[in-house]
Structure 1
Amino acid sequence: MKALVTAATAALMLTGTAMAQTTVVTVPGEVRTYITEQQVPSVVYDGDIVVGSELPSSVEIHTIPSNDAYGYTVVNKKRVIVDPHTHRVIEVIN
């Protein structure tokens, strides 16, 4: 019985971890529209630009006047939506 409880607990813990890693952030359409209309210079960056990665503090994050929950930048000619507080990539716009 103890082994069964231990196995069930371990399974629940693994499931919780997997679910936490697949969190999806839905960016409002007006934020995406605003970002695509802005003309900012592209920054060259050697690292991978993928959702969940953290951009270095040297990459300038631009603010969105109507929504402080999102920021953006252009990296390697790709528009990137980021969390302005953590510099984590939320979405890469192609």
Structure 2
Amino acid sequence: MKILVVSAVSLVLSFGGVAVAQTTTVVVPGEVKTYVMKQETPSVTFEGEVAVGTALPDTVEIHTIPDQPDYGYVVVNKKRVLVNPKTRAVIEVIE
């Protein structure tokens, strides 16, 4: 009986770890995407894959979005990318 209880506790704890590891989806306001799509910003080259969660280096200039302090953007490898300006992490790749 003790083995069964220990196994059940281990199973529950392992599932708990999976839940913590999941990423949070950020819902970006439509006006932010519209603003970014209208901007004529030159593309910068970034070696590696640009994916959600990727932190961009300090050498990449993040552009601000008026009245939207939680979002910034940059065009990387010819793709428009929304970025958290505080952490420099990619929130969404638009195109």
The TM-score with structure 2 as length reference comes to 0.86
**Which residue number corresponds to residue 90 of structure 1?**
91
**Identity percentage over the alignment?**
50
**Which residue number corresponds to residue 33 of structure 1?**
34
RMSD over aligned CA atoms reads 1.5
Q: Which residue identity is paired with 2:30?
A: G
- Distance (whole Å) between structure 2 residues aligned to residue 40 and residue 91 of structure 1: 17
The runs of 5 or more residues in structure 2 that have no matched partner are: none
For residues 18-29 of structure 1, what are the structure 2 equivalents within 5 Å? 18=21, 21-29=22-30
The runs of 5 or more residues in structure 1 that have no matched partner are: none
Matched, 1:69 2:70: yes
The total of aligned residue pairs comes to 92
**Highest Rg: 1 or 2?**
2
- Distance (whole Å) between structure 1 residues aligned to residue 91 and residue 59 of structure 2: 18
- Distance (whole Å) between structure 2 residues aligned to residue 66 and residue 88 of structure 1: 19
Deviation at 1:56, TM superposition (A): 0.5
Q: Which residue identity is paired with 1:3?
A: V
The TM-score with structure 1 as length reference comes to 0.87
